Amino acid sequence: MAKKTLTPQQAKLPENKKTAQLLSHQADANGQPMTTDHGVKINDDQNSLRSGDRGATLLEDFILREKITHFDHERIPERIVHARGAGAHGVFTLYKSIPELTRANFLNNTENETPVFVRFSTVAGSKGSTDLARDVRGFAVKFYTQEGNFDLVGNNMPVFFIQDAMKFPDLIHAVKPEPDNEMPQAASAHDTFWDFISMMPESAHMVMWAMSDRAIPRSYRMMEGFGVHTFRLINAKGESHFVKFHWKPLLGVHAVAWDEAQIISGKDPDFHRRDLWEAIQNGSFPEWELGIQVVPESDEHKFDFDLLDPTKLIPEELVPVQRIGKMTLNRNPDNFFAETEQVAFHVGHVVPGIDFTNDPLLQGRLFSYTDTQLIRLGGPNFHEIPINRPIVPVHNNQRDGHMRQTINVGKASYGPNSTGDNFPHQVKVADGGFSSHTERIDARKIRARSKSFFDHFSQAKLFFHSQSAPEAQHIINALRFELGKVKTLAIRQRMLSVLAQIDKNMAQQVAEYLGMELPTKPAQLNFSIPADGNPKDFESINKEPTIRSSAALSMSNTIKDNIQTRKIAFLVAEGADPDSIGQMKKALEKAGATIELIAPKLGGITAGKQQFNIEESLLTSSSVFYDAVFVPDGDKNIVTLSAQPEALHFLNQAYKHCKAIALAGKAKELMALSHITGPNTKKDAALLTGNTEDMIQDFISAIASHRNWEREKERNVPA
């Protein structure tokens, strides 16, 4: 066994006392079997107990309940995951009724607006961490419907790291700061995370998403949302369809550069929260369309992946997304704690017409969410906190408990009863009562995963092969960064084995950066398999995807037809040309952009006969906060900016991060003083020079394109 290290206080104790103290407070698992908290040896810690390998998770699984319960109660009072978030109120409106699919009222009434509250969040970091961490983003929507609350608790990525809820505590323990030193914060670039991932090939698909630009969104307003799991829609006839939920942002899906994200984290860790708040405050209400992918129950097994596997998505080429409604966020919270912090989402909050499937990750979440709210929000009455209350009356026989607010009247708190005329009474399905979908169950109790879950690489390949060249390079760079922070060579080696099964060229580029050889024979590690299982029966199938690429998986195919809400920096100083400022400002604001003037100092500047107020200076601001940069003409203006190192750095940084830059008239001289030069400068559509009026439309088009990522190939900018 490993030698124990004594604290200074323990070292002063007599020998017999030292041993006693260590044994009382330390647990060394080296060489020991796994047990429950009551000492029973565990045969399988990787799979929950189910009614058949694709069946529902059983409540009697005391090993799962103990593991999840302990995990849910590890942190108080902030959330264990999704601790750092921002929220907003809004409304959902339906485009068309879908009675053939569901009897849910809010999906069949185009006349009413359904109130919503949305919370966006990072996953791994604490409340005090940064918005710009490389991380999954939570995207949770609470619909306050006329039939009760429906919570669509999702992420900005459509798949997840694991297939079974039994593995969730392990995943989060691995990605959280390492327990011996509590580092790093809000980051996955460390040994424990990649140690876990390298031995869980089911995570391969999600790793591609997490290493992509999707993990560093430009704003909450410009990211997609997904329900992740496969749910059911049930119509009035009791007919079932499988469904995947999507949120499609009307501003398109955009990201920042990784270097830019790291700078923003230092300069404004509240970047995403501030962006959301200011957009709503300014009346630029964020909008998403709700989309659904629908699969008839008869087609459940027609795909080469399992619909119940949360590490898989349904390619939109196979099942198109139907857009059925729009969500608009139009009001900021009045009190962050009372609303954003106390809102309690629950994947189990469904309404008649929406039901669950036997997705083993979903099944575990159904237990975990209630358990988490009990400890985090003080007890069983968390639903009585105003932000969590449904807009319809609540009547049942639950009573009392910590923080009870409802004053129930009458004698009856039981049913059936005669003292209260048997109220509250049960409701027939025909009258809106909830009824679970009838599903035949005829299976053995078993801890196992369906063989249909063991294709771990085909969709990881699909995602990587769907990326544009710049996006693919960003994934490679992210893996280089992350694995470059891993200190244990064996973990790097295992991870290279996993990457080689996704794309050998990608893996080779990562290996070369790490100074390592790519394994010639990839290891096939899968610790989801029971120790006593037959390995040949459970080998992952490393097959090619049915389709080579999917346009929906690349952000290069997102909306690029407007510049609404984009923030444009105008670099100005005394003597700037007022016509140059005015012409560009008028055109950009008409197109929906926001303009901020940035000068060497705060206060104001004189341009011609006009006075311009300056609220941001080169000291207080940075190019990373803006989508594009404009420098107006003016002799004195250019002379002043030329002598400001911060102004030249501002331009260098914007160029390095591939943003649109427009230099009017003599502002072109700044190029020679900065480092905006190179073989591609003349053909860079996002780098404009000339007369202000002549380049307005080209500048708007360049901003709408978001970034000129092609600039990364040849740039050499010390910013």
- 560-713 carries CATH number 3.40.50.880: yes
The whole-number pLDDT of residue 661 equals 97
Q: CA-to-CA distance for 540 and 461, rounded, in angstroms? A: 14
Write out the H or E segment, with its range, that includes residue 606: strand 603-607
At residue 27, does pLDDT exceed 70? no
Instruction: Please tell me the least confidently modeled range out of 97-111, 293-307, 602-616.
Output: 602-616
Selected residue with higher pLDDT from 283 and 21: 283
The whole-number pLDDT of residue 73 equals 75
- Is the previous residue joined to 424 through a cis bond, with omega within 30 degrees of 0? yes
Q: CA-to-CA distance for 496 and 9, rounded, in angstroms? A: 44
Which phi and psi (to 5°) does residue 605 adopt?
Answer: -130, 160
528 with 46: CB under 8 angstroms? Answer: yes
Q: Mind giving me the DSSP string for 326-386? A: EEEEEE--S-IIIIIIT----TT---TTEE----HHHHHHHHHHHHHHHHHSSSTTGGGSG
Q: CA-to-CA distance for 47 and 57, rounded, in angstroms? A: 10
At residue 25, does pLDDT exceed 80? no
Residue from 82, 205, 272, 456 carrying the catalytic annotation: 82
- Mapped onto helix, strand or coil, the DSSP state of residue 97 is coil
For residue range 546-583, list pLDDT tens digits in order: 899 999 999 999 999 999 999 999 999 999 999 999 99
Using 50, 70 and 90 to split pLDDT, how confident is the model at 679?
A: low
State the average pLDDT over residues 117-123.
97
Q: Mind giving me the DSSP string for 302-341? A: -SSS-TT-TT----TTTSPPEEEEEEEEEE--S-IIIIII
Q: CA-to-CA distance for 459 and 636, rounded, in angstroms? A: 57
Q: Could you state, in order of their start, the residue ranges of all structural domains in the chain?
A: 53-157+212-388, 560-713
Using 50, 70 and 90 to split pLDDT, how confident is the model at 1?
A: very low
The whole-number pLDDT of residue 24 equals 52
Give 234's strand partners: 240
Using 50, 70 and 90 to split pLDDT, how confident is the model at 23?
A: very low
The whole-number pLDDT of residue 502 equals 94
- Mapped onto helix, strand or coil, the DSSP state of residue 441 is coil
The whole-number pLDDT of residue 31 equals 81
User: What CATH code is assigned to 53-157+212-388?
Assistant: 2.40.180.10
Most confident of 170-174, 375-379, 438-442: 170-174
- Angstrom CA distances, 225 to 247, 354, 528, 626, stand at 5, 18, 28, 24
The whole-number pLDDT of residue 467 equals 98
The H helix count followed by the E strand count for the chain is 18, 20
Residue from 47, 149, 155, 381 carrying the catalytic annotation: 155
Rounded to whole angstroms, the maximal C-alpha distance in the chain is 90
The whole-number pLDDT of residue 538 equals 46
Q: What percent of the chain has pLDDT over 90?
A: 71
Q: Which of 684, 628, 643, 638 is nearest to 665 (CA)?
A: 638
Stated pTM of the model: 0.90
The reply to whether 112 belongs to the active site is no
At residue 18, does pLDDT exceed 60? no
For residue 592, count other CB atoms closer than 10 A to its CB. 14
- Angstrom CA distances, 186 to 183, 501, 698, stand at 9, 28, 39
Selected residue with higher pLDDT from 536 and 640: 640
β-bridge pairing 610-614 and 660-664: unpaired
Length reported for the chain = 719
Structure tokens at 232: 């059911």
Write out the H or E segment, with its range, that includes residue 113: none
The whole-number pLDDT of residue 22 equals 44
At residue 232, does pLDDT exceed 90? yes
Using 50, 70 and 90 to split pLDDT, how confident is the model at 700?
A: very high
For residue range 323-354, list pLDDT tens digits in order: 999 999 999 999 999 999 999 999 999 999 99
The whole-number pLDDT of residue 74 equals 74
Q: CA-to-CA distance for 171 and 693, rounded, in angstroms? A: 55
Q: Return mean pLDDT, the chain.
A: 90
Q: CA-to-CA distance for 36 and 25, rounded, in angstroms? A: 18
283 with 289: CB under 8 angstroms? Answer: no
Structure tokens at 530: 């029971």
β-bridge pairing 85-94 and 354-355: unpaired
The reply to whether 82 belongs to the active site is yes
Q: State the Cα angle at 69 between 66 and 75, rounded to 5°.
A: 140
State the average pLDDT over residues 455-462.
94
For residue range 69-105, list pLDDT tens digits in order: 878 877 657 888 999 999 999 999 999 999 999 999 9
Q: CA-to-CA distance for 430 and 451, rounded, in angstroms? A: 39
